[in-house]
Chains A and B, each alone.
Chain A
Amino acid sequence: MAKRVFIDFSRCIECRACEVACEREHGGRSFISVFEWEEMAAMAMNCRHCERAPCVEVCPTNALYRDDDGAVLLAPQKCIGCLMCGIVCPFGIPELDSLNKIMMKCDLCADRRAEGKLPACVETCPTDALSYGDFNEIQRRRRGRFTRETIELTKKAEGFGLLQP
């Protein structure tokens, strides 16, 4: 099953460690960005590696492809820098590398994954606002947490006698 970066923006402190880590791992370019909302919250955004990725569909030279982990990668030697992937991406992810005249995007830290490591943004995130794993498994864990909290709250309420008929 494909693994993804899950974003729990309720834990994001806008420290931008993910950006700095990404930049270090990718030769001075960060492929993840943190945005603040109304001075009240923040959220990191990187490539979603979509299941039905419009960028892969539209690429005229098949430069965009999917690796064994399900990450959408770019083969630089095939890319012609036509920008189409960037145009169809609903999140505005692919950017133009004007020096090399090709597109560039998040590769889910292919080099680190090859060594059995997590993507750098996830590995560094101080508050676990970013996590990496099978999406459905992450959702299952979230459901589990919700039920635990519900039971705990109910138990506390029982202690106060609120649930007695």
Chain B
Amino acid sequence: MAERIPVVCPYCGVGCRLYVLSEDGYPVNVDYADDIPGIPNEGGKLCPKGNAVLEYIKAKDRLRRPLKAKEEGKFVEISWSEAIKEVAERLGSYAKDDPNQLMFFGSARTFNEPNYLIQKLARMLGTNNVDHCARLCHSSTVSGLKAVFGAGAMSNTYRDIEEADCIIVWGHNYAETHPVGFRYVLKAKDHGAKLIVVDPRRTKTAWFADLHLQLYPGTDIALANAMMHVIIRENLYDRDFVFRRCTGFEEVARTVEKYDPERVEEITGVPAGLIEEAATTFATAGRGVITWAMGLTQHTHGHDNVRALATLSAICGYQGREGCGVAPMRGQNNVQGACDLGVLPNVFPGYQAVTDEERRKWFEGFWGRELSGEVGYTVMEAAHAIEKGKVRGYYIMGENPVISDANSNRLLRALRKLDFLVLQDIVPTPTMEFADIVLPAAAMLENEGSLTNTERRVQWSFRAIEPPGEARPDWWIIGEIGKALGFDSSGSGGFSYSDASDVLREINACTPQYRGITPERLRRNLAGIHWPCPSEDHPGTRFLYRERFLTDDGKAHLAAVEHRGPVETPDEEYPLMLTTVRYVGQYHTLTMTGRSPSLMKRWPMPYVEINPADAAKIGVRSGEWVIIETRRGSYAARARVTGTIKEGVVAVPWHWGANVLTNDALDPVAKIPETKACACRLRKASEEEARKVLDSLPAPVPGGE
């Protein structure tokens, strides 16, 4: 009889529960968690990826033994003790010389515990050069929301989305990227809620919209300001809330005054009447939620975009009560957790700034080492620092920057220059080509630990499957390296742990938001606990800011921001605007879904979406090949000519490596690259030409099709 083991789906930030049916550590099937009340996926619902979770686990090319590179991309198997020894020696020698030559990548694709450990390792070695892929997706959310409300997280839960009377979905193809989360939007619509979608494409989410504002990529601030203009002009804002709980309203009012809908229509391409209607609908709804994702954040003005939306939410008084709030939707099932636990170059666990002398002293006492107070490199800055010879060693845990980073050609050149790269992953990725040492990790379902979903809900996922070969849990690998580096004392000053629960107890001790989220509680309560949870008898917090905001003065710091477009806009040479998108059945860099036959069968390849008017100019029809070129690279895909995309804009999914095209210009605050808008040109191509372009790029699934 198979055991029925509760796990958390290893894909997106919804954090769905499911069971793995396991016989002696071998997975025979999955089952729906329809018998656990209060979970994020009510009724045990799963999207196609959730249904296919066992397929990549069984992939034939799973990494089974530690590997050492003889030359670039050619590996020999070595033992764990050799691998740990070599990694520790190399890291140790760089650290001795100058710890800032090292860069550590945590991962939103693994548990809280290894994430805590990797930043602890980096910091104990003397550097704050630790970051992870949140930099590429929601760093602007974290910085933007922290600036306005004081905490860089979703302020509410799915229940609040369900209870809202108006939902704005901004730059977020909710139905496709978080299908199970979209359930709550439809449930809200069942009780009469209005849905406003802001997106340059008529997405599947827009199918359900009452109003669809089809803006040009990168014109978000102008649109948000125009909405606030209408709301303030018509006196529809929440005077009392603004007076009691916000600062900076006068400046906002002054700034948005010049953003009248007629003028903004010219900037955004959204009819003025529609802007008026959207603003009035949202402000008069009673309870309003704004959700957003990559379409808003991945801009050089991402930080300001987020502050503008947070301000829009606040002036309507949609904070600190049921059915309201802001809901940035996270892409990975533990990106919130990785941020919470300090896998960021500027904060210790619990968002405690490294520059705060008092907090640093506290952590110095806790970890027993002197710590650096200098803010470290972010993901993209580290890549640029390799070029300058400042960073020489990378430790990457479960990330695949060759596909995920903007302007990947530049990154490839940088990785070639790198002295030493350790890669810890479950399967070969294009990034592995550059690795010196490869450490085989157990996949999420082969491992146990805590995960924090997009609603700040921490859940425990149990070990359901035996890992292949000698693959080991992430927390174990980093613990061994830590011990080999000489951090072998017991307690919080070392890396001696007997299991993941041990690590979580240490997290409880140093992370205020997680104080009461103990492994014992999580194992008992499968629905998890929403942070902040300050003590063991605290039930967790459904929504933030009921009484006060988490800023120093407890008030929301409204932001008056001016519109600025993308750094690269269409011109004669590159006349079109390029944006990147996702498919529901594919996931990020294809490391998992690319090894899932039932998903590859349905979503086999990328299509470039082109408006019929633009397609006519180059004489291309659906199904024919086109080559997309930007100032940084070329990419090829088949065309899908469609009226769902705005004229002048083309969209391409990035799963297969389209980041060769995107722009790595950074937001000055959040340091997020502008992957959602850059100038490009298209030309029709023969299949032969197109294949030549694709063959020159790294294969997303090495050895695969």
Q: A2-28: contact bitstring with B at CB < 8 Å (1 yes, 0 no)?
A: 000000000101111101110110001
**Shortest distance in angstroms between A116's beta carbon and chain B's nearest beta carbon?**
11
**Given A14-B204, A41-B207, residue A126 in contact with residue B602 (CB < 8 A):** no
- The residues of B that contact A41 with a CB separation of less than 8 Å are 207
Contact present for B192 and A20 (CB under 8 Å): no
**Shortest distance in angstroms between B379's beta carbon and chain A's nearest beta carbon?**
30
- The residues of B that contact A39 with a CB separation of less than 8 Å are 202, 642-644
Q: B145-183: contact bitstring with A at CB < 8 Å (1 yes, 0 no)?
A: 000000000000000000000000000000110011011
Query: Which residue from chain B places its CB closest to the CB of A13 in the assembled complex?
Result: B175
Contact present for A126 and B207 (CB under 8 Å): no
- The residues of A that contact B642 with a CB separation of less than 8 Å are 39
**Shortest distance in angstroms between A70's beta carbon and chain B's nearest beta carbon?**
23
Contact present for A127 and B186 (CB under 8 Å): yes
In angstroms, Cα B180 to Cα A123, docked, is 12
- The residues of A that contact B44 with a CB separation of less than 8 Å are 123
- The residues of B that contact A149 with a CB separation of less than 8 Å are 192
In angstroms, Cα B644 to Cα A41, docked, is 12
In angstroms, Cα B47 to Cα A152, docked, is 33
Contact present for B183 and A17 (CB under 8 Å): no
Contact present for A13 and B204 (CB under 8 Å): yes
Contact present for A152 and B204 (CB under 8 Å): no
In angstroms, Cα B598 to Cα A16, docked, is 11
In angstroms, Cα B584 to Cα A42, docked, is 14
Contact present for A24 and B51 (CB under 8 Å): yes
In angstroms, Cα B207 to Cα A11, docked, is 10
Query: Which residue from chain B places its CB closest to the CB of A21 in the assembled complex?
Result: B51
In angstroms, Cα B203 to Cα A39, docked, is 9
User: Pick the contact of A17 from B47, B207, B644 — CB < 8 Å?
Assistant: B47
- The residues of B that contact A126 with a CB separation of less than 8 Å are 41, 45-47, 179-180, 182-183
User: Pick the contact of B207 from A24, A40, A152 — CB < 8 Å?
Assistant: A40
- The residues of A that contact B34 with a CB separation of less than 8 Å are 123
Contact present for B598 and A17 (CB under 8 Å): no
In angstroms, Cα B51 to Cα A107, docked, is 19
Contact present for B182 and A20 (CB under 8 Å): no
* Interface size counted on chain B using CB atoms at 8 A: 35
In angstroms, Cα B183 to Cα A19, docked, is 18
In angstroms, Cα B657 to Cα A124, docked, is 30
Interface residue? A125 (CB, 8 A): yes
Q: Which of B173-201 contact A (CB under 8 A)?
A: 175-176, 179-180, 182-183, 186, 190, 192
In angstroms, Cα B84 to Cα A8, docked, is 56
Contact present for A15 and B176 (CB under 8 Å): yes
Q: B25-52: contact bitstring with A at CB < 8 Å (1 yes, 0 no)?
A: 0000110101000000101111110111
Contact present for A124 and B602 (CB under 8 Å): no
Q: Which of A22-44 contact B (CB under 8 A)?
A: 23-24, 28, 39-42
Contact present for B182 and A17 (CB under 8 Å): no
Contact present for B183 and A20 (CB under 8 Å): no
- The residues of A that contact B208 with a CB separation of less than 8 Å are 13
In angstroms, Cα B202 to Cα A152, docked, is 30
Interface residue? A128 (CB, 8 A): yes
- The residues of A that contact B584 with a CB separation of less than 8 Å are 13-16
Q: Which 6 A-B pairs have the closest CB atoms?
A: A13-B175, A20-B48, A20-B51, A15-B179, A126-B179, A126-B180
Jot down 30 A-B pairs with beta carbons below 8 A, ordered by A: A11-B186, A13-B175, A13-B182, A13-B204, A14-B204, A15-B179, A15-B584, A15-B585, A17-B46, A17-B50, A17-B179, A20-B52, A20-B585, A20-B598, A21-B51, A24-B598, A39-B642, A124-B45, A124-B46, A124-B47, A124-B51, A126-B46, A126-B47, A126-B179, A126-B180, A126-B182, A127-B179, A127-B186, A128-B186, A149-B192
Residues of B within 8 A of A (CB): 29-30, 32, 34, 41, 43-48, 50-52, 175-176, 179-180, 182-183, 186, 190, 192, 202, 204, 207-208, 584-585, 598-599, 602, 642-644
| Beyond A123-B43, A125-B45, 18 additional pairs, beta carbon < 8 A | A13-B204, A13-B208, A14-B584, A15-B47, A15-B179, A17-B50, A20-B585, A20-B602, A23-B598, A39-B202, A42-B204, A123-B44, A124-B45, A124-B50, A126-B41, A127-B183, A127-B186, A152-B192
